[in-house]
Amino acid sequence: MKKVLRKMPIKEKRYAQALLEIGIKNNALERFQKDLKVVLDDFLNNDELVEYLLRPEISDALKKELVLDLYKSKISVEIQNLLQVLIDRNSIKNIYGIAKDQNGKEYYMVK
């Protein structure tokens, strides 16, 4: 896994490393893997969702509300928080790199 982290862009690597550390500390890596797969499947299969989250004229508050409504009962609080932070920092597109390896073939942290 360290090899994958070294190849990632710095921004994505920082988020992935933090998520990995929290997952290890809380014994939640498997849950995070499943949660990331849920999010990525939605992002990969719902262009309208991604386009909405990337539109600069839509407030972060509305984007966060949508994410909370979509995922509050589907994914862990930690992954919800990650999505919130990515929205705050205008970096939601980085979820792909955080969750996938450098080649884009395998989900990072997702079996």
- Answer yes or no: is pLDDT of 8 > 80: no
User: What integer pLDDT is reported at residue 33 of this predicted model?
Assistant: 85
For the segment 49-101, what is each residue's pLDDT rounded down to a tens digit? 999 999 999 999 999 999 999 999 999 999 999 999 999 999 999 998 888 64
CA 80, 84, 85, 86 torsion-angle sign: positive
Helices 29-45, 10-25: crossing angle, 10 deg rounding: 140
Work out the number of other CB atoms within 10 angstroms of the CB of residue 86.
Answer: 19
This model's pTM is above 0.95? no
Q: Extract the tokens encoding 96.
A: 């792909």
Q: What's the mean pLDDT when you consider all of the chain? A: 84
